[in-house]
């Protein structure tokens, strides 16, 4: 009996400790804790970024993104997304350094067919991208994903699990390893969800620190 009680207390304590480590970046009710950047100043953020039925709804137009107000370092990020009518374009920005329309950040691409690509935005860098001798570095260097698309059909939920640790970034899309990047120029920064393309929804945006 005593052993059972001790085991129950240990399990409860461990469960509480683990859940306490998880940070819900989206609370399911509103967009408190997020900032917004839009290319079109005539649009208000609330016209583009909304919470409907407990999920984030992003219209995809105009171009922009919503970003965490806090910086994060060494974490595992879980994000779920789905397309409502057409699979188009979006992304998850990592290590965001500023709130420019094109920020300095590493983008985990969510573009249909290319989810898991890395796009190096505005001066960000990973060791896996090397400019060949005699060539000019592209404006948006791309590090292609490793495997065939593992994306779900329109209307179905996808999940990305992204680990950022000590300048290294690993991406799983629906359980499939799609990319690994090393020696990121920045190891800390904000996290952002992109508006680009058409309607997209996000949910279960949460972060677990990695020791």
Which is it for the CA torsion 100, 104, 105, 111, positive or negative? positive
In the predicted model, is pLDDT for residue 14 greater than 80?
no
Other Cβ atoms closer than 10 A to 175: 8
More confident residue, 9 or 155: 155
What is the share, in percent, of the chain residues with pLDDT greater than 70?
91
Quote the distance between the C-alpha of residue 80 and its chain's center.
Answer: 9
3-state secondary structure of 139: coil
d(CA 68, CA 40): 20
Distance CA 179, CA 161 (A): 11
Q: How far apart are CA 185 and CA 62, in angstroms?
A: 29
CA nearest to 139, candidates 125, 117, 122: 122
User: Model confidence over 52-109: pLDDT tens digits?
Assistant: 999 999 999 999 999 999 999 999 999 999 999 999 999 999 999 999 999 999 999 9
Which is it for the CA torsion 8, 9, 13, 16, positive or negative?
positive
Q: How far apart are CA 138 and CA 94, in angstroms?
A: 20
Q: What is the CATH number of the domain that holds 20?
A: 2.60.120.560
Do the beta carbons of residue 210 and residue 76 sit within 8 Å? yes
pTM above 0.85, yes or no: yes
Instruction: Tell me the pLDDT of the chain averaged across its residues.
Output: 91
pLDDT of residue 12: 41
Domain limits at 121?
2-209
| % pLDDT > 90, the chain | 88
Counted domains in the chain:
1
């Amino acid at each position: 009996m005593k052993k059972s009680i001790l085991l129950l207390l240990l399990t409860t304590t461990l469960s509480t400790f683990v859940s306490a480590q998880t940070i819900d970046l989206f609370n399911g009710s509103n967009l408190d804790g997020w900032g917004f950047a839009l290319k079109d100043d005539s649009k208000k953020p609330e016209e583009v970024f909304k919470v409907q039925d407990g999920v984030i709804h992003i219209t995809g137009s105009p171009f922009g993104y919503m970003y965490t107000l806090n910086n994060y370092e060494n974490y595992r990020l879980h994000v779920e997304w789905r397309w409502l009518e057409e699979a188009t374009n979006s992304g998850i920005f990592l290590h965001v350094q500023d709130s420019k329309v094109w920020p300095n950040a590493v983008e985990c691409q969510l573009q249909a067919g290319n989810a898991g690509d890395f796009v190096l935005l505005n001066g960000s860098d990973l060791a896996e991208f090397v400019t060949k001798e005699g060539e000019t570095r592209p404006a948006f260097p791309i590090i292609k994903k490793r495997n065939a698309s593992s994306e779900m059909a329109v209307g179905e939920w996808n999940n990305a699990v992204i680990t950022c640790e000590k300048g290294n970034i690993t991406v799983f899309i629906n359980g499939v390893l799609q990319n690994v990047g090393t020696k990121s120029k920045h190891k800390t920064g904000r996290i952002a969800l992109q508006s680009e393309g058409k309607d997209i929804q996000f949910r279960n945006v949460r972060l677990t620190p990695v020791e």
